[in-house]
């Protein structure tokens, strides 16, 4: 499901390079850009997986609603990330904009057709699939951790690697989002973050506590047993 929320004409990227994928032939393809307001669904679970997406700006969460009403977030997609590539014909998760987000779209069929004749694009797709599998395995291990502090430490280390724009780690997601990603309660996540602050591992900028400065990465890594 997608709706263009900005009616102004947007410059349309027209090559796989614009989609963040290398190509031997750099074929001209049709890409579109759409903007989603905060909290807007990009696509729903079990909807046809006809498109592949790349985040130009903003952030997206992929999640499932469990039978008891709880939400399990499977992944956070940040600027530059490509998502929505499925093994089957339907999406397995719902994707939703965490903040106002602009994405690029390419038809999955178009991407697959290019991959048939372009070895580099085929390698790109294989790499994307491998990265997604590795993330799923890492997330499974994270959910199996014994302590909440280890999970929160692992999450902060992951975000530190992915949010590399500056020394300040500006988290787009809320603590509720973090809790649903880590399989913890909101209160447990808040206690763990406060404990790390008391230990001098991290500091806050502003009142929302979403802008974090890591003061002691070595100590944080020591709390992550998988690191």
CATH of the domain at 197: 1.10.10.10
Q: Are residues 198 and 153 in the same domain?
A: yes
Domain carrying residue 76: 16-143
Q: How many Å separate Cα 117 from the centre of its chain?
A: 29
Q: Are residues 28 and 138 in the same domain?
A: yes
The single residue listed with the structure tokens 């009142």 is 207
Rounded distance, CA 72 to CA 189, Å? 15
Q: What sign for the dihedral angle of Cα 62, 67, 71, 73?
A: negative
Rounded distance, CA 208 to CA 170, Å? 10
Residue 223: the pLDDT is: 85
Task: Show which of 143, 172, 205 is a domain's final residue.
Answer: 143
pLDDT band at 154 (very low <50, low <70, confident <90, very high): very high
The single residue listed with the structure tokens 């580099």 is 120
Q: Tens digits of per-residue pLDDT, 162-213?
A: 886 567 888 999 999 999 999 999 999 999 999 999 999 999 988 777 889 9
């Amino acid at each position: 499901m997608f709706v263009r929320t900005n009616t102004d004409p947007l410059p349309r990227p027209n090559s796989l390079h614009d989609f963040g994928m290398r190509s031997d032939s750099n074929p001209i393809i049709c890409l579109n850009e759409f903007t989603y307001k905060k909290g807007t669904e990009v696509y729903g679970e079990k909807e046809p997986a006809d498109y592949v997406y790349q985040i130009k700006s903003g952030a997206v969460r992929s999640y499932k609603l469990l039978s008891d009403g709880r939400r399990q977030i499977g992944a956070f997609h940040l600027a530059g990330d490509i998502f929505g590539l499925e093994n089957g014909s339907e999406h397995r998760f719902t994707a939703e904009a965490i903040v106002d987000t602009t994405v690029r779209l390419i038809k999955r069929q178009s991407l697959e057709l290019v991959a048939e004749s372009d070895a580099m694009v085929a390698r790109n797709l294989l790499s994307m699939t491998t990265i997604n599998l590795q993330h799923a395995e890492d997330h499974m291990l994270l959910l199996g951790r014994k302590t909440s502090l280890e999970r929160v430490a692992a999450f902060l280390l992951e975000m530190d690697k992915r949010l590399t724009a500056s020394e300040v780690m500006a988290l787009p997601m809320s603590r509720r989002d973090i809790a649903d990603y880590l399989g913890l309660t909101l209160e447990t996540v808040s206690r763990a973050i406060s404990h790390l602050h008391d230990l001098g591992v991290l500091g806050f900028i502003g009142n929302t506590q979403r802008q974090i400065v890591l003061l002691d990465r070595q100590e944080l890594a020591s709390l992550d047993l998988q690191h």
